[in-house]
Amino acid sequence: MTDVYSIPAEIAKSAWIDQKKYTEWYERSIKDPEGFWAEQGKRLDWIKPYTQVKDVSFTGDVHIRWFQDGTLNVAANCLDRHLATRGDQTAIIWEGDDPAESAHITYRDLHERVCRLANAMTDLGVKKGERVTIYLPMIPEAAVAMLACARIGAIHSVVFGGFSPDSLAGRIQDCDSSLLITADEGLRGGRKVPLKANADKALESCGSVKNVIVVKRTGGTVAMEAGRDHWYQDLVEKAAPTHVPAEIDAEDPLFILYTSGSTGKPKGVLHTSGGYLLYAAITHQYVFDYHDGEVYWCTADVGWVTGHSYIVYGPLANGATTLMFEGVPNYPTVSRFWDVIDKHKVNIFYTAPTAIRALMREGEAPVKRTSRASLRLLGSVGEPINPEAWTWYHRVVGDDRCPIVDTWWQTETGGILITPLPGATALKPGSATLPFFGVKPVMVDAEGKILEGAVEGNLCIAESWPGQMRTVYGDHERFVQTYFSTYKGMYFTGDGARRDEDGYYWITGRVDDVINVSGHRMGTAEVESALVAHPKVAEAAVVGYPHEIKGQGIYAYVTLVADEEPTEELRKELVNWVRKEIGPIASPDLIQWSPGLPKTRSGKIMRRILRKIAENQHDTLGDTSTLADPTVVEDLIDNRMNRV
Ligand code: ATP
Ligand code: MG
């Protein structure tokens, strides 16, 4: 039996959406999507109001257009329209890597900074539609740069500051950026990251870049190339503090963002202006039940879509106070997240399972020594959250008081698609629960047959929603192939899911990762969750490998909690444990002790690499450019279990 956590009365009382409203709105949004979205679109300020709501085809000439005859400016929606009512309210709380450094930036101040940079970029000749690559640490200038692009209609491509020169170069070349915005150095966990030096190396192979704007973050010495490189501070000082926002078509591109690369070569996901902003804003308000005056903190990096939609665009469009954190969860101590929550009185906290599992390894004491009394709501995103990690997050971090919204979505979806709404949805640990307004999930089998009721299958979305990606930049054919060719007339997510008797969705992992043991199909998430439920296991990753008798065997990589020693006995104990938790069919054939797991720079386990090692094919690992720490892989290869 799964535990069910009912909606706390306190939350239900004040929530934007209660159960009744959820049902009513959801039904309406599915029966009459045009009417529903036509109404919701009014939450934005349009320069020229739209008369057409939706023009979409998932077959033939695949195209997705929302509000296409409307015009607006995204930055003006995030800034200018708030000035009269909340100019002096804090828009961004910035918390530095060093706990002694933080800042509050008001809407008025942010507006002026964006105007200055927009003017400076225009002076450098940047035009509407040109691509601008942003390679910055988590400093306010990252948000300023994104919004300045939006203000003039340039298309930004944010590249995570942890990426190498080669990865940066590939992303600049793919979209032919003419401008790069970077910093002298970044600062993470007390260590300096040589951003400008990396950029210089990348630019050796990027002829398209005419100008580089460099933010002074640490003051470290960097090379500046005359004519090409400009100090940010010099440019904005000289630029005018006001700027008339450009009139942008709803379907003009807002940004390109390369996916995190868990499954292969990153794709340049293209999002446009009107539909994306609307969807980011509406989901931010209702999923996080955001109320005026609250402090909201999403710990993602702006280099990921989570940072785009839920640090910058959604919160600012809603006039929220959004916290931006430069550092890491374990610096200077493993209490850092909780200390920041107390310091800035954070009400809503949104992070990833990888961070929760890492902090869980450290035990309860570092959490419990902090107050966290301001917290009202918790969120999770990025991977399936194991029930064990979920209950720890709920009990230890949230003191059994705060609902958890487990939000399922993708770079491609622009915003959250499957999620609880805190005032409307009873929670089940490990389930992303129910679809957001306008989202129509369908479960299909391998042949594309639509499955009804409580089933397991491949997750598709049958109808478009405004935040949906429009194309793969420069490669529409790849877009059609990747998302619309597997199942006719539907968007294929690439994820597998189970739908239970209450209609709740449980993401079981990527479809490519499904294991087939003696004819039984199994998602990786379930086996991993069983392993993580063992008190001595901190993290686990499970993949299939060729097995003579069963077709596929189960290969588990297991990281133990701090101070636990790997022994043969424990190995047997874990096999029996999984056998008891799920059944004999799921018991691991091989368990490899893994001090660390290969992860993308956004913290996701890269099972595709683990699969290669398990198959004894570590010579052909494929694209490893998004790997956070290559030494982890070397250790895993050295100690692999399947040496055939
Ligand atoms: P790539 O597409 O390049 O392989 P990626 O899929 O990791 O990389 P993202 O768009 O950042 O890139 O991640 C989206 C994926 O993350 C989803 O398809 C899903 O597999 C997983 N995911 C995100 N949120 C959740 C969640 N709440 N529960 C389960 N899985 C999630
Ligand atoms: Mg993906």
| DSSP string covering 55-78 | EEESSSS-EEEESTT-EE-HHHHH
What element of type H or E holds 582? none
Ranges assigned E (strand) in 320-429: 321-325, 348-351, 377-380, 404-406
Write the residue with the smallest CA distance to atom 31 of ligand 1. 383
The answer as to whether 610 is a domain residue is yes
Contact present, 556 and 547 (Cβ < 8 Å): no
CA of 480 to the centre of ligand 2 (A): 15
The answer as to whether 250 is a domain residue is yes
CA of 66 to the centre of ligand 2 (A): 23
Write the residue with the smallest CA distance to atom 23 of ligand 1. 382
The domain of 632 spans 518-639
User: Residue 351 forms beta bridges with which residues?
Assistant: 380
In short, whether 261's Cβ falls inside 6 Å of ligand 1 is yes
Contact present, 250 and 272 (Cβ < 8 Å): yes
In short, whether 410's Cβ falls inside 6 Å of ligand 1 is yes
pLDDT for the residue numbered 522: 86
The pick from 167, 260, 498 for probing ligand 1's pocket by mutation, whose C-beta has the most ligand atoms within 8 angstroms, reads 260
Give the whole-angstrom CA distance, residue 293 versus residue 190.
32
- The full length of the chain comes to 644
Give the whole-angstrom CA distance, residue 504 versus residue 566.
37
Phi, psi of 166, rounded to the nearest 5 degrees? -65, -45
Residue for token pair 């029996």: 576
The answer as to whether 43 is a domain residue is no
The answer as to whether 59 is a domain residue is no
pLDDT for the residue numbered 315: 99
Question: Helices (DSSP H) in 41-139: which residue ranges?
Answer: 74-78, 83-86, 107-123
Nearest-5° Cα angle at 52, 48 to 54: 125
The domain that contains 171 carries what CATH number? 3.40.50.12780
8-state DSSP, 97: S
Region 160-188 average pLDDT:
95
Q: Is 306 annotated as a binding residue?
A: yes
Contact present, 494 and 512 (Cβ < 8 Å): yes
Other C-beta atoms lying within 10 Å of the C-beta of residue 302: 24
Q: Which residue has the higher pLDDT, 261 or 438?
A: 438
The answer as to whether 402 is a domain residue is no
pLDDT for the residue numbered 63: 98
- Tell whether the model's pLDDT for residue 209 goes beyond 80: yes
CA of 407, closest atom in ligand 1: 27
Give the whole-angstrom CA distance, residue 45 versus residue 193.
39
pLDDT for the residue numbered 627: 87
Of the listed ranges 193-207, 362-376, 426-440, 618-632, the one predicted with least confidence: 618-632
- Tell whether the model's pLDDT for residue 256 goes beyond 80: yes
Share of the chain above pLDDT 90, in %: 91
Q: Is 409 annotated as a binding residue?
A: yes
Contact present, 133 and 171 (Cβ < 8 Å): yes
Tens digit of pLDDT for each residue in 44-84? Answer: 999 999 999 999 999 999 999 999 999 999 999 999 999 99
Tell me the Ramachandran region of residue 356: left when phi exceeds 0, alpha when psi lies from -120 to 50, beta otherwise: alpha
The answer as to whether 349 is a domain residue is no
* Nearest alpha-carbon partner for 286 in 380, 150, 377: 377
pLDDT for the residue numbered 265: 77
Taking the mean position of all CA atoms in its chain, how far away is CA 447? 30
Contact present, 94 and 103 (Cβ < 8 Å): yes
Overall domain count for the chain: 2
The answer as to whether 337 is a domain residue is no
In short, whether 411's Cβ falls inside 6 Å of ligand 1 is yes
In short, whether 408's Cβ falls inside 6 Å of ligand 1 is yes
Q: Is 544 annotated as a binding residue?
A: no
- Tell whether the model's pLDDT for residue 640 goes beyond 80: yes
Contact present, 460 and 481 (Cβ < 8 Å): no
pLDDT tier, 512 (very low <50, low <70, confident <90, very high otherwise): confident
pLDDT tier, 1 (very low <50, low <70, confident <90, very high otherwise): low
Tens digit of pLDDT for each residue in 127-166? Answer: 999 999 999 999 999 999 999 999 999 999 999 998 889 9
Give the whole-angstrom CA distance, residue 479 versus residue 386.
31
In short, whether 259's Cβ falls inside 6 Å of ligand 1 is yes
Region 358-370 average pLDDT:
95
Give the whole-angstrom CA distance, residue 318 versus residue 517.
48
- Tell whether the model's pLDDT for residue 2 goes beyond 90: no
The domain that contains 557 carries what CATH number? 3.30.300.30
Region 595-609 average pLDDT:
92
Burial letters 405-420, b for 16+ CB under 10 A, else e: bbbbbbbbbbbbbbbb
Contact present, 104 and 146 (Cβ < 8 Å): no
Q: Is 330 annotated as a binding residue?
A: yes
Contact present, 472 and 267 (Cβ < 8 Å): yes
* Nearest alpha-carbon partner for 263 in 529, 629, 511, 549: 511
Write the residue with the smallest CA distance to atom 13 of ligand 1. 410
Q: Which ligand is nearest to the CA of 160?
A: 1
Quote ipTM for the complex. 0.99
* Nearest alpha-carbon partner for 103 in 293, 326, 299, 331: 326
The answer as to whether 155 is a domain residue is yes
- Tell whether the model's pLDDT for residue 264 goes beyond 90: no
In short, whether 592's Cβ falls inside 6 Å of ligand 1 is no
Give the whole-angstrom CA distance, residue 611 versus residue 363.
30
CA of 411, closest atom in ligand 1: 10
In short, whether 604's Cβ falls inside 6 Å of ligand 1 is yes
Q: Which ligand is nearest to the CA of 382?
A: 1
Taking the mean position of all CA atoms in its chain, how far away is CA 112? 28
8-state DSSP, 154: P
Residue for token pair 């491509």: 157
Region 107-117 average pLDDT:
98
Of the listed ranges 34-38, 106-110, 561-565, the one predicted with least confidence: 561-565
Q: Half-sphere exposure (CA, 13 Å, Cβ side) for 414? A: 30
Residue for token pair 């970044």: 186
pLDDT for the residue numbered 523: 85
- Torsion sign over Cα 215, 219, 225, 226: positive
In short, whether 172's Cβ falls inside 6 Å of ligand 1 is no
Tell me the CA distances in angstroms from 595 to 135, 328, 630, one per residue in order: 31, 20, 13
CA of 213 to the centre of ligand 2 (A): 31
Share of the chain above pLDDT 70, in %: 100
* Alpha-carbon dihedral angle through residues 385, 387, 393, 394, given to the nearest 10 degrees: 130
pLDDT for the residue numbered 229: 98
Give the whole-angstrom CA distance, residue 107 versus residue 114.
10
pLDDT, averaged across the chain: 96
Asked, as a colleague might, if the bond just before 165 is cis with ω within 30 of 0, I would say no
pLDDT for the residue numbered 624: 83
Write the residue with the smallest CA distance to atom 11 of ligand 1. 260
pLDDT for the residue numbered 266: 82
Pick the last residue of a domain from 264, 298, 328. Answer: 328
Ranges assigned E (strand) in 393-465: 404-406, 441-444, 450-451, 455-461
pLDDT for the residue numbered 623: 81
